Amino acid sequence: MTTDPTAQTIVGATAGPPDHDPAGDDAGASIWRVAARRLRRNPGAIIGAVIVLVFLAVALLAPVLAQYDPQALPGRTEIRPTFIPGPSDAYPLGLDRYGGDLLSKLIWGARASLLIGVLSTLLGLAGGALLGLLAGAFGGWVDTVTMRLVDLMLSVPSLLLAVSIAAVIGQSPNAVVIAIGVVQVPIFARLLRGSMLAQRDQDYVLAATSLGLSRRTVVMSHIVPNSVGPVIVQATLMLATAVIEAAALSFLGLGGGSPITAEWGRMLTAAQNELEVAPRLALWPGACIAITALGFTLFGEALREALDPKTRKR
């Protein structure tokens, strides 16, 4: 099968978005065009996209936007055991317990939290897509073994699984990325497999097979491009979960680093003891996590609706 020259080119093509499919799959392209048009008309999608873009911009431009370095403690001398200075001209959102500038730390925190969220989702997507593809393309015992493994992973609630994985790897941001990524693998695997199975019995697949195309070509250039929709939707929604779970793991201390680390979950841990003195130290990072998650969720839900043929006529 690997000697088939067409199969080689088509395998490469699947790396790009399906609407650029060189196989000329018009139906596939129009789904995405229609979806884009429907997204533009959906206020939820626009709000979600704006939130996500703002936070992405903040994360990317953190070195420019933040007045201080993430580890800097410019107001160290102004901190008293019972008093933490609030907003002032020098520190727009006030200081934290250690004398760090809250605004600067929130900005750097956006970079840390989004990076963890995006990397872990990419990891989960890659692992899940690989397993799902194996199961969906080969069926038989490959499918059975893969899906039993997936069931096993899903038999433990995801946050607990992530906690135990991160605990074993050791307390560091990398551990958090790996833990949250691994936890997502079974979800993506099951989704892609289910989606591929639904396509397998479609007439166009029968047509492609009867034209004598190899199984690899049928799977890679026909079944897969038509199965990725739900996976992309899930990935968008997963970004919200990943940001929240990353914060949860950091909150439990699995993200490592010192208490002054500029990461939203970690900042919440530090704020825990200051609730009576300076509640804003908890409010700001918490609100950042919630708003980022809201952005991804709104956009993901809108994307799901836009790609769903059942709601297409509305």
Partner 1 sequence: MARLVLQRLALLIPTLLGLSILLFLWVRALPGGPATALLGERATPEAVANINRLYGFDKPLLEQYLTWLGQLVTGNFGVSTRTGVPVLEEFLGRFPATIELTVVALVIAVGVGIPLGYLAARHQGRALDHTTVVASLLGVTIPVFFLAFLLKYAFAVELGWFPSAGRQDPTIVATHPTGFYVLDGLLTREWDASWDALKHLFLPALALGSIPLAIIARITRASVIEVQGADYVRTARAKGLRPPRLRRRVVLRNAMLPVATTIGLQVGLLLSGAVLTETVFAFNGIGSFLAEAIFSLDYAVLQGFILFVAVVYALANLAVDVSYGLIDPRMRVR
Work out how close the CB of 60 gets to partner 1 at its nearest, in angstroms, rounded to a whole number. Answer: 22
Check binding of 244 to partner 1 (CB under 8 A).
yes
* CB of residue 286 to partner 1, shortest distance in Å: 4
Q: How far is the CB of 132 from partner 1 (least distance, A)?
A: 19
Q: Is 26 near partner 1 (CB under 8 A)?
A: no
Cα 56 from Cα 244, distance rounded (Å):
16
Q: Does 159 bind partner 1 (CB under 8 A)?
A: yes
Site for partner 1 in 211-240 (CB under 8 A): 240
Per-residue 3-state assignment (H helix, E strand, C coil) for the chain: CCCCHHHHHHHHHCCCCHHHCCCCCHHHHHHHHHHHHHHHHCHHHHHHHHHHHHHHHHHHCHHHHCCCCCCCCCCHHHCECCECCCCCCCCCCCECCCCCEHHHHHHHHHHHHHHHHHHHHHHHHHHHHHHHHHHHHHCHHHHHHHHHHHHHHHCCCHHHHHHHHHHHHCCCHHHHHHHHHHHHHHHHHHHHHHHHHHHHCCHHHHHHHHCCCCHHHHHHHHHHHHHHHHHHHHHHHHHHHHHHHHHHHHHCCCCCCCCCCCCHHHHHHHHHHHCCCCCHHHHHHHHHHHHHHHHHHHHHHHHHHHHCHHHCCC
Among 53, 60, 145, 168, binds partner 1 (CB under 8 A): 168
List 66, 220, 297, 306, residue binding partner 1 (CB under 8 A): 297
Binding partner 1 by CB under 8 A: which of 56, 126, 167, 198?
167
> Does residue 253 belong to the site contacting partner 1 (CB under 8 A)?
yes
**Which residues, numbered 271-290, are part of the site for partner 1 (CB under 8 A)?**
271-272, 275-276, 279, 282-283, 286, 289-290
Out of 148, 259, 273, 312, the residue judged to bind partner 1 by CB under 8 A: 148
Position among 50, 53, 145, 160 found at the interface with partner 1 (CB under 8 A): 160
Given the complex with partner 1, which of 34 and 159 has the nearer CB atom?
159
Q: In DSSP terms, which residues pair with 95 in a beta bridge?
A: 101
Is residue 54 a contact point for partner 1 (CB under 8 A)? no
Nearer Cβ to partner 1, position 156 or 207?
A: 156
Q: Is 251 an interacting residue with respect to partner 1 (CB under 8 A)?
A: yes
Rounded least distance, CB 250 to partner 1, Å: 10
CA atoms of 77 and 197, how far apart (whole Å): 64
Residues found near partner 1 in the complex (CB under 8 A): 148, 151-152, 155-161, 163-164, 167-168, 240, 244, 247-248, 251-254, 268, 271-272, 275-276, 279, 282-283, 286, 289-290, 293-294, 297-298
